[in-house]
Amino acid sequence: MNLLGYLEEDITIKKPLNLKQVAAQLGVSTATVSNAFNRPDQLSASLRDRILKESAELGYFGPNLAARSLRRGESGVIGVMLADSLSYSFSDPVANQLLQGIAEVLVDKQKQLLLLSSGVVSAQQSSAESLPDGFVLYGALAGNAFNQILRTGKPVVTVDFESSGTASVNIDNEQGAFTIANHALAKQQHPEVAVLGLRLIDAGRVCRLTAPDITTHSGEISRSRLAGYFRAAQGLHCSISPERIWHIPVNSPAQAEIAAREALTSLPRPTTLLCMSDVIALAAIRVAQSLGISVPSELQVTGFDDIPEAARSTPALTTVCQQSLEKGRVAAQMLLEGNPTTSITLETRLVVRDSCL
């Protein structure tokens, strides 16, 4: 017999042990093993530690989630579908606050969190989408992801966008933008206004808008914020022309600095920068300082979000608090409580700090 033959005889594929087999080898009941993994409060600490240790030595690390899901009709997992990539979402402070709020509720309710991105189209992701008991959908999803989630028939709560027949959690973006723009422009007689916008058009580079871009339809919340800026400006008899509005495709400091430098070296130089995110506004302040432009005496800067860095910057940033943490909490609670068609609009709050007094 050749070497391969010996190997084929010697190799045996060991199937994973199930709960009943593990209990028999440990000399305890199946309920005791199950409690060790799922209900630790039912056992003494020493007994649970022993069972977990000896189970691991046998190669058993707890009940199979998929099998348990089939038996119970639920998995105990909540899916969060993000409009952006996972790597981008982890770097975005607003998305981080939202996820923190969701996680707080899920931990309290002993649920697990599964993160998915609408930009991923694969058989593996399709399989993963079948596991959660329900979904929180954050932002305007890419492609056919929204309809695909709806076809699962599972409960859905949307955040930062609305769809008839589903529960949603939003803020009034237009009113929030109106309030901060009105605050910034009301005390200036002839303000030179520039807008550093986010995802205003379908373009992958930083650029100025054109007149046709103003009427282009978009599902992005930035369009509501732009409408709020326009409404405030019109009420104060000042104008914001398209060429004074910059499109920034990604909410990143690097791209924001490109737009801010273009705006602050244009003529006439802006006296007010209305920024559609705190990340953009903080980048604009850094660029202004590098150009020797004093904030706020020569340039008023406003943001939107109220991320933690807004209060810590120098000068501290005037912004709109959109309650990202609370949005996450409310969305998770709505999903778990089974409110399938409730729509909630959280209040925004103007936060006045040194960058625009």
Bridge partners of 113, per DSSP, are 78
**Alpha-carbon span 11 to 62, nearest angstrom:** 26
> What's the fold here for domain 173-322?
Rossmann fold (3.40.50)
Question: What secondary structure letter does DSSP report for 13?
Answer: P
The encoded tokens of residue 100 equal 């923190």
pLDDT at residue number 121 = 67
**Alpha-carbon span 133 to 156, nearest angstrom:** 10
Determine how many CB atoms are found less than 10 A away from the CB of residue 185.
Answer: 24
pLDDT at residue number 7 = 44
pLDDT at residue number 17 = 82
pLDDT at residue number 11 = 46
Q: What is the pLDDT of residues 273-308, one digit of tens each?
A: 999 999 999 999 999 999 999 999 999 999 999 999
Which class is 3-60 in CATH?
A: mainly alpha
Domain positions in the chain are 3-60, 75-170, 173-322
The H or E element containing residue 245 is strand 245-248
Instruction: With CA atoms as reference, report the closest residue to 118 among 148, 160, 83, 74.
Output: 83
CATH of domain 75-170: 3.40.50.2300
pLDDT at residue number 72 = 57
**Alpha-carbon span 93 to 101, nearest angstrom:** 13
The stretches in the chain having pLDDT less than 50 are 1, 3-13, 70
**Alpha-carbon span 4 to 262, nearest angstrom:** 69
Q: What is the pLDDT of residues 239-273, one digit of tens each?
A: 899 999 999 999 999 999 999 999 999 999 999 99
On the CB side of 21, CA atoms within 13 Å amount to: 10
pLDDT at residue number 161 = 87
Say if 3-60 and 173-322 have the same CATH topology. no
Helices (DSSP H) in 73-162: which residue ranges?
86-91, 93-108, 123-129, 145-150
Q: Is-contact 150 174, C-beta < 8 A? A: no
pLDDT at residue number 331 = 96
